[in-house]
Chain A
Amino acid sequence: MAKTHVTMTVNGQAVEGLVEPRTLLIHFLRENLSLTGAHIGCETSHCGACTVDLDGQSVKSCTVFAVQAQGADIRTIEGMANPDGTLHALQDGFREMHGLQCGFCTPGMILRAYRLLQENPNPTEDEIRMGISGNLCRCTGYQNIVAAIQYAAAKLSAPQEQAA
């Protein structure tokens, strides 16, 4: 099968690769780019473990062909930490509030929560629960994931001087 040349920006870096049209974005990220943070859970568009940010939207990268992402701007869990290496408020929140147990769902949860907080910096508990309704967690019962996102929302909207 003829391969297609794709280029995109992943975590701020220009990347390229040769892929078959049928190559899924999750496989391109994990196998071509060795970015194994986004996980493959169900492969059937249900669990959200493969969620990444694509041109300002959360998407399930198991249900997008890499060729569809030609030219796209993508962020994965590997690109979440702050430029100085400190944890992003969401990563910090998941640690502080025990938002994970096995951690399998966490990269997808954090990327989804990242976009949710971009769209709605102060979500209610209900809005958080609806916002992560496309992400399944088999361990936590979600309570601490919601608390982690609330923690991050509060930290991100705190006045600048407190963060400094």
Chain B
Amino acid sequence: MIPGTFDYHRPKSVSEAVALLADLGEDARPLAGGHSLIPMMKLRLAVPRALVDLAAIADLRGVRRAGTDIVIGATTTIAELIASAELAVALPIIRETALVIADPQVRARGTIGGNVANGDPGNDLPALMQCLGASYQIAGHAGTREIAARAFYQGAYFTALAPGEVLTGIRIAPPPAGHGWAYEKLKRKVGDYATAAAALVLTMRGGQVASAAIGLTNVGDTPLFAEDAARILTGSALDKATVDRAVAAAEAITSPASDGRGPAEYRTKMAGVMLRRALVRAAARATH
């Protein structure tokens, strides 16, 4: 399986990349780790006429502080997310999620930018970014803009990214110290995409949930931000009746496909089970 022909470009700066993409037109695409794009090109699900490789743009790589926020460069690899001491302290849920993505070789090449920009509902990081309230920093020919992860996803492989735009970074305001977190993923085997998964961050005060945010993976055409479920949990002591209602609210917004990972009804229920498990682990981790 060999991809179709294309021209290859390797710019050194974001401005050069954006100018190239503008010149080359709609048939050109950015290339990051290539671990979604190259398989799609082999299958002719993607037939770009030109690839603009982002790998040589040093500015796009790495984790840095911007005031109290953390900005993760778009071409930071999933392996680098796991290795980052800064993220392990401020945003430990990123490491927990990254460790259940694919396998070591794929994580060495796959990037956070490619993972969130691809629009594949199976990818794990988009729902996590929604849970964390991340915003995506985007550069285009007309300038730069920023868009919330919660507003970015429009359908399977369909996002707010316009042709010619490059995702440059992901900005996250870390939750307060002492927050609880969990990413629960059900998969058939190591390296598989999720049957269903739930990302959860919560804070507790005096035994009650002070705030909660929930993202769901691979149970719809897009990642899902489960706002109602989080609202139900807020103010509760995570008693059974409240958790049942929140799980029902989360299940209600899912619309998974029936496929090799199971029938739709099963995957909806598994999204609920993942949320329940995430609640138990996150609550145990939160310092009251």
Minimal beta-carbon separation of B145 from chain A (angstroms): 29
Residue of B nearest to A130 (CB): B190
Q: Does A76 contact B (CB under 8 A)?
A: no
Q: B4, A131: Cβ atoms under 8 Å?
A: no
Q: A64, B109: Cβ atoms under 8 Å?
A: yes
Q: Which of B32-40, B251-259, B276-284 contacts A (4 or more CB under 8 A)?
A: B32-40
Q: Kindly supply a per-residue 1/0 record for chain A positions 36-63, scoring 1 wherever the CB is within 8 Å of any chain B CB and 0 otherwise.
A: 0000000111101001000001111001
Q: B1, A44: Cβ atoms under 8 Å?
A: yes
Q: B103, A133: Cβ atoms under 8 Å?
A: yes
Please, which residues of chain A bring their CB within 8 A of the CB of B35?
A: 45, 63
Q: A131, B104: Cβ atoms under 8 Å?
A: yes
Q: Does A134 contact B (CB under 8 A)?
A: yes
Q: Does A65 contact B (CB under 8 A)?
A: yes
Q: Kindly supply a per-residue 1/0 record for chain B positions 14-36, scoring 1 wherever the CB is within 8 Å of any chain A CB and 0 otherwise.
A: 00000000000000000100110
Residue of A nearest to B79 (CB): A57
Q: Which of B5-13, B136-144, B220-228 contacts A (4 or more CB under 8 A)?
A: B5-13
Q: Does B191 contact A (CB under 8 A)?
A: yes
Q: Does B2 contact A (CB under 8 A)?
A: yes
Q: B191, A133: Cβ atoms under 8 Å?
A: yes
Residue of A nearest to B9 (CB): A21
Q: Does A22 contact B (CB under 8 A)?
A: yes
Q: Does A67 contact B (CB under 8 A)?
A: yes
Q: Does B108 contact A (CB under 8 A)?
A: yes
Please, which residues of chain A bring their CB within 8 A of the CB of B10?
A: 67, 70
Q: B55, A48: Cβ atoms under 8 Å?
A: no
Please, which residues of chain A bring their CB within 8 A of the CB of B34?
A: 63-65, 68
* Most chain A CB neighbours (cut-off 10 Å) among B5, B104, B190: B104
Q: B104, A112: Cβ atoms under 8 Å?
A: yes
Q: B103, A48: Cβ atoms under 8 Å?
A: yes
Take A21-B5, A21-B8 as given contacts and tell me if A43 and B105 are in contact as well, using a CB distance cutoff of 8 Å.
no
Minimal beta-carbon separation of B120 from chain A (angstroms): 14
Minimal beta-carbon separation of A49 from chain B (angstroms): 11
Please, which residues of chain B bring their CB within 8 A of the CB of A1?
A: 5
Q: Does A24 contact B (CB under 8 A)?
A: yes
Q: B39, A63: Cβ atoms under 8 Å?
A: yes
Q: A58, B105: Cβ atoms under 8 Å?
A: yes
Please, which residues of chain A bring their CB within 8 A of the CB of B31?
A: 68
Q: B191, A59: Cβ atoms under 8 Å?
A: no
Number of interface residues, chain B, beta carbon within 8 A:
29
Q: A45, B8: Cβ atoms under 8 Å?
A: no
Residue of A nearest to B4 (CB): A22
Residue of B nearest to A22 (CB): B3
Residue of A nearest to B39 (CB): A45
Please, which residues of chain B bring their CB within 8 A of the CB of A67?
A: 8, 10, 53
Q: A21, B108: Cβ atoms under 8 Å?
A: no
Q: Does B42 contact A (CB under 8 A)?
A: yes
Q: A20, B5: Cβ atoms under 8 Å?
A: yes
Residue of A nearest to B3 (CB): A22
Please, which residues of chain A bring their CB within 8 A of the CB of B39?
A: 44-45, 63
Please, which residues of chain A bring their CB within 8 A of the CB of B109?
A: 57, 59-60, 63-64
Please, which residues of chain B bring their CB within 8 A of the CB of A60?
A: 105-106, 109
Q: B105, A48: Cβ atoms under 8 Å?
A: yes
Please, which residues of chain B bring their CB within 8 A of the CB of A70?
A: 10
Q: B5, A112: Cβ atoms under 8 Å?
A: no
Minimal beta-carbon separation of B195 from chain A (angstroms): 18
Q: Kindly supply a per-residue 1/0 record for chain A positions 62-80, scoring 1 wherever the CB is within 8 Å of any chain B CB and 0 otherwise.
A: 0111011010000000000
Q: Kindly supply a per-residue 1/0 record for chain A positions 95-115, scoring 1 wherever the CB is within 8 Å of any chain B CB and 0 otherwise.
A: 000000000000000001000
Q: A134, B5: Cβ atoms under 8 Å?
A: no
**Considering the chains assembled together, what is the distance between the CA atoms of A116 and B3 in angstroms?**
30
Binding site for A on B (CB under 8 A): 1-8, 10, 31, 34-35, 38-39, 41-42, 51, 53, 55, 79, 102-106, 108-109, 190-191
Known: A21-B6, A57-B79, A64-B109. 5 other contacts (CB 8 A): A22-B2, A44-B39, A63-B38, A68-B34, A134-B105
10 pairs from A and B in contact (CB 8 Å cutoff) = A21-B5, A43-B1, A45-B38, A58-B104, A59-B105, A60-B106, A63-B35, A116-B104, A130-B190, A134-B104
